[in-house]
Amino acid sequence: MTANQLVPAAQYLRMSTEHQQYSLENQSTAIQKYAESQGFEVVRTYSDTARSGLVLRRRAGLQQLLQDVVSGIASYRAILVYDVSRWGRFQDTDEAAHYEFLCKSAGVPVHYCAETFANDGSLPSLIMKALKRTMAGEFSRELGVKVFAGHKRLTLLGFKAGGVPGYGLRRMLVSASGVLKQQLALGERKSIATDRVILVPGPPHELQTVKDIYRMYVSDKRSICSIARKLNAQGIPRPGHSRWDFSAVRMILTHPKYVGYAVFGQVSKKLNTPAVKVPKSEWILRPGAFEPIIDPATFAEAQKVIGLHRCQRTNEELLDDLRRLLSSEGKLSFSAIRNSPGVMSPGTYSRRFGSLRNAYKLIRYSHPDRLGGADTRRRTMALREELISQIAEMFPNDVSIIRPGIHWRSRLRLFDRLTVSVLMARSQLVYKNTRRWLVEPVRHERKFITLLARLNESNSAIIDLHLFPNIDRTKKFQISDSWMKRGKRISEISRFCEVAASLRAARRSRHEKSHPKAHL
């Protein structure tokens, strides 16, 4: 067959971290041999390196392939894949079949080059594909069980099973026999399979901060929020973050690693399913694994205080706290409750009673002018969550929602690598008929690409959407302000991903121009 008669084809390559036999080079070589023997010419390559085959949203290469084929812009007439497992290890075999069917129905069939059967639509091939897809999915399930068992075993032996060390701690590389080798820097990993990792105390100033946190909480009876504010006021740095917050302090006060435990299994995220918190009774714990920073008695006292705050106070006790605060301050507000060390957080009252307004009613405190802010915040947060959900539902393959924890705000993740902050700009009447909008970025989100939703005069609905490279400070603005030119107005939500990608490309281009040596 002459070169002019060769059928143009695309090859799809995927390698996770499973076996060397699945390296991209080995796949490409096998595909090339198949192409030469079957009369194909590879004209396009799509690949996903170090990507699990469990879900589509993490595989930009396969997503692009499907988009090109379905849109009709593909210049090839066949897709060559090493085997069924490289196409994917989807837990639902119908999902793998669906993506293949999309290609076939667009006139671009999929060929599995290393399989012993031809993907020709015959009954034997259909049976074999169904079996192979099931086996591929089962491989991932079995591998997950084995990995979990391995991490559990390492933890019970007193080693760290992965993850960052945490404030005040560092990772130390040790040999299989326990001989200390070297401290690992951030991002460094062990290179010898038999080596292990343990936790060791970090720099003296971090150790002192950890001890001060326990002292302030246990002895000084400070609230977690009060401790975070004090650390920020003192200018104590938190590596990798700009400021201390509730979740950072609470983690230090509750994590058993600070008393020398090796811990594993606090969160379950099997087979790329959403992360689920695991009850403490099911954690894998090994006491005495590491050198403790906090003595067991102090740690136990901290857990006792946290337990009292979390679940052992009755509704009436919470309301009594509000009555005492009202008596001493003469008024109640969101900030007054949040800043009072003897009163639970506003969030606790909202969870117990449905809202702060309901809690106020129960103690017969009624000041509508002071409740308007709480109502606006509640409406604004509801609109924000609705917007985030709407975008994620509109782009199921490109957009996911990041929900790191109950004390953090949800964010959007695009193309599995681009984080987008979502802010609501509230309307405020500043003078007669003059209206401005207030936007207050979260400190640790100020470098992210930001989706800004401008609200109407009653703050009950979204007027329009704008995407900015970032919003780095609190602003009061009008739509005519020159500052608004930094962003791009999104005329339709369907253009969200397109505009976000263009902003990211523009920001990367500016960075390359200002740091040319970094890209040589």
Domain ranges in the chain? Answer: 3-142, 169-310, 315-366, 373-514
Domain covering 373-514: architecture:
3-Layer(aba) Sandwich (3.40)
Nearest one of 351, 290, 349 to 323, comparing CA atoms: 349
The pLDDT, as a whole number, for residue 374 is: 60
The pair of structure tokens assigned to 397 is: 């393959």
Q: What is the rounded distance in angstroms from the CA atom of residue 499 to the CA atom of residue 468?
A: 10
Sign of the CA dihedral 67, 68, 73, 79?
negative
The pLDDT, as a whole number, for residue 209 is: 95
Annotation: CATH topology of 3-142:
Rossmann fold (3.40.50)
* Phi and psi angles of residue 484, each rounded to the nearest 5 degrees, phi first: -65, -20
The pLDDT, as a whole number, for residue 367 is: 62
The pLDDT, as a whole number, for residue 287 is: 93
Q: What is the rounded distance in angstroms from the CA atom of residue 365 to the CA atom of residue 359?
A: 9
**Residue 166 and residue 255 in contact, taking contact as beta carbons nearer than 8 Å:** yes
**Residue 322 and residue 363 in contact, taking contact as beta carbons nearer than 8 Å:** yes
Residue in this structure with the two tokens 């740095």, named with its chain if needed: 237
Q: What is the rounded distance in angstroms from the CA atom of residue 323 to the CA atom of residue 365?
A: 9
Q: Coil, strand or helix: which one is 95?
A: helix
Can you list the positions of beta strands (E) in 175-323?
Answer: 180-184, 196-201, 262-264, 267-268, 276-277, 284-286
Domain covering 169-310: architecture:
Alpha-Beta Complex (3.90)
Rg (CA), the chain: 28
* Phi and psi angles of residue 276, each rounded to the nearest 5 degrees, phi first: -125, 130
Q: Which letter does DSSP use for residue 376 in this model?
A: H
Q: What is the rounded distance in angstroms from the CA atom of residue 228 to the CA atom of residue 258?
A: 18
Instruction: Determine the straight-line distance between the first and last CA of the chain, rounded to whole angstroms.
Output: 44
Q: What is the rounded distance in angstroms from the CA atom of residue 82 to the CA atom of residue 68?
A: 20
Nearest one of 54, 134, 107, 44 to 80, comparing CA atoms: 44
Q: What is the rounded distance in angstroms from the CA atom of residue 495 to the CA atom of residue 475?
A: 26
Q: Coil, strand or helix: which one is 3?
A: helix
Q: Coil, strand or helix: which one is 129?
A: helix
Q: What is the rounded distance in angstroms from the CA atom of residue 359 to the CA atom of residue 350?
A: 8
The pLDDT, as a whole number, for residue 520 is: 41
The pLDDT, as a whole number, for residue 341 is: 60
The pair of structure tokens assigned to 92 is: 């639902």
**Residue 290 and residue 198 in contact, taking contact as beta carbons nearer than 8 Å:** yes
Helix (H) or strand (E) holding 23: none
**Residue 249 and residue 166 in contact, taking contact as beta carbons nearer than 8 Å:** no
Please give the model's pTM, rounded to 2 decimal places.
0.55
Nearest-5° angle of CA 500, CA 56, CA 267? 90
Mean pLDDT by 10 residues, the chain (520 residues): 77 75 84 94 88 76 91 93 90 89 94 92 91 87 84 89 88 87 83 86 94 93 86 88 80 93 84 74 91 94 77 78 87 78 75 83 72 67 87 84 62 83 89 84 86 90 92 90 90 88 79 54
Q: What is the rounded distance in angstroms from the CA atom of residue 458 to the CA atom of residue 308?
A: 40
Q: What is the rounded distance in angstroms from the CA atom of residue 478 to the CA atom of residue 430?
A: 11
